[in-house]
Every structure is written in C-alpha cells, then in structure tokens.
Amino acid sequence: MTERNIPYPASKILAETDLKASGLNWSILRFGFVYGDKDGHLESAPGLMANWKWHPAQTLSLIHHRDIATAVKLALTGAIDGHTVNVVDEAPTSIYEIAQIVGAPYEPSAEPLNDPWTGRADGTLLRTLGFTPTVPTLYQAQRDGLL
C-alpha cells in the first residue's frame, strides 16, 4: 500500500489493487456481515444500524463463521485463484428480522427504502466456483443453535 490516512473502504480497494498487480497468485474474499458462535455481532447490529438510521426493511447479506472457514478451505484448493468473490449466505436478512431474532427493539417504518441494495452482496460467482454454505440462512443458524 502506498498511501496513508485513507478511509477504510478506499484502503481495502487499494490493497486489492496492489495485490492484483503484485504478480502473486491471489484470491480476494469479501465477507458479508459476519456472525455466529456467540460473537455478539448480531446483537450489536440493531443498535449500529439504528445509529446509521437504516430502514428496518433494509437487508444485509450475512455469513456465519463456519462458512468463512468453508470459503477459505475452498480458496486454499485454488478454486478461487484470480477471483474477487463475495462470501455470503443464501438469503439477505432485514434489520427488523435480525432485531426480532436477538430480541432487540427496532422501530418499524412505513416509509419506502431509498436504496434497497445497500448492505447486499451477490454471492453468485463464488457459488459457480463450488461454494455451498453449510449455514444457508440466519433462520437455519437459529434453528441449529449456531447463534
């Protein structure tokens, strides 16, 4: 990386650009909102999103800890070499649903969403490279006691 004091998202793009130009064999895995195994991330999400004034119907692409391991194992086989992929589960989940699952308050709203794509990432490419999440949805994680 050649610059200092740059915003976090821009620094990630710069690091990816430098990696791609390095001549090394590379894979870039971009994780959705990470949760699982009592890490506290889901519990913190409603408060964080409320501070950002996110609409309760806004959705997030999620990924369970177990499937980060699944994706990294796949990457280590070489299946993702030369690709930038989004590592996400099968169903974006609304902030309101997350709040309900963790028992946190979140005010409902009848206002329309300004940008329904904020918080979402497309995992199609990773699926074509062989990824299948072992925890396909937040509801499955809840049923299996994986929160």
| Domain-wise residue ranges, the chain | 29-143
Answering whether pTM is above 0.85, one says yes
| Run means of pLDDT, 10 residues per run, the chain, 147 residues | 66 93 96 95 95 95 98 97 98 96 94 92 98 97 96
Residue 19: closest CA among 83, 62, 110, 74 = 83
DSSP tally for the chain: helices H, then strands E: 6, 6
Pairing, β 93-94 against β 59-60:
antiparallel
Question: Under CATH, which number does the domain 29-143 receive?
Answer: 3.40.50.720
- Asked if residues 98 and 45 have their Cβ atoms less than 8 Å apart, the reply is yes
Q: What angle do CA 74, 19, 7 make, to 5 degrees?
A: 105
For position 9, what pLDDT does the model report? 83
Q: Compute CA distances 52 → 61, 84, 94, whole Å.
A: 17, 28, 15
- Asked if residues 137 and 91 have their Cβ atoms less than 8 Å apart, the reply is yes
Strand partners, 35: 64
**How confident is the prediction for the chain on average, in pLDDT?**
94
